[in-house]
Amino acid sequence: MKRYSFLSILMVFLVFTACKNEVKQAEETTTDTAVENTTEAPQASKPKYEAAAATATFKDPKVGEVYKAYIELKTALVNTDSEASSKAADALLTAFSNLGVEEETFLAAQFVMESKEIAAQREGFNRLTPIVEQLVVDNLEGGEVYKQYCPMAFNNTGAYWLSNAKEIYNPYFGDMMLNCGRVADTFESEATN
């Protein structure tokens, strides 16, 4: 039992350390780039993250629309694009409306849509994730959905998100710590297990 506790603590430490190193490298890169940009022409725009194709299918097609809009929101947050995040949250609002959700859920999506600051949008996304997760778990018919976790999000309190792929693209930090996190769980329908 002590060995498992030690291994769990070691895993958390390694993920935390890896993420810390990624932050340091991002800061060093930002500093180096700022120095370079003072003497050179502006760099081309950052590459945009594109979400992997979904393999998940759902018993209720309306849940599929919610999940699709959620992934669009996650993708916009990974790209640190507040305008695209607002548009994706608007699509999520429509999907929630078509599904018929509680007012609290609707208001969380509306908060993201109306926010202009990426930090506030990320907070709203964090509130939406467990709601969408429950819909996914209750309605998954085929394929896989990955639950991912970043221990450093929100001042090291940690946060989860859902993804179509195992590869980590962090919506809470975007390109500052793009690959910080780990797969915490994989949801599969009972038919595929």
Q: Has residue 152 been placed in a domain? A: yes
Residue 104 belongs to domain spanning: 57-188
pTM for this predicted structure: 0.77
The answer to whether residue 144 sits within a structural domain is yes
Residue 168 CB partners (closer than 8 Å, separation 6+): 148, 178, 179, 180, 181, 182, 183
Residue 118 lies in a domain: yes
pLDDT value, residue 178 = 87
Give domain status of residue 24, yes or no.
no
Q: Is residue 17 part of a domain?
A: no
Structural domains in the chain (count): 1
- The reply to whether 45 falls in a domain is no
Whether residue 92 lies inside any domain: the answer is yes
Each of the 193 residues of the chain gets a pLDDT tens digit; together they read: 554 444 444 444 444 445 655 444 444 433 333 333 333 333 346 678 788 888 899 999 999 999 999 999 999 999 999 999 999 999 999 999 999 999 999 999 999 999 999 999 999 999 999 999 999 999 999 999 999 999 999 999 999 999 999 999 999 998 888 889 999 999 997 665 5
In this structure, is residue 174 part of a structural domain?
yes
One-letter amino acid of 62: K
**Residue 133 CB contacts under 8 Å (≥ 6 apart), including other chains:** 147, 160, 162
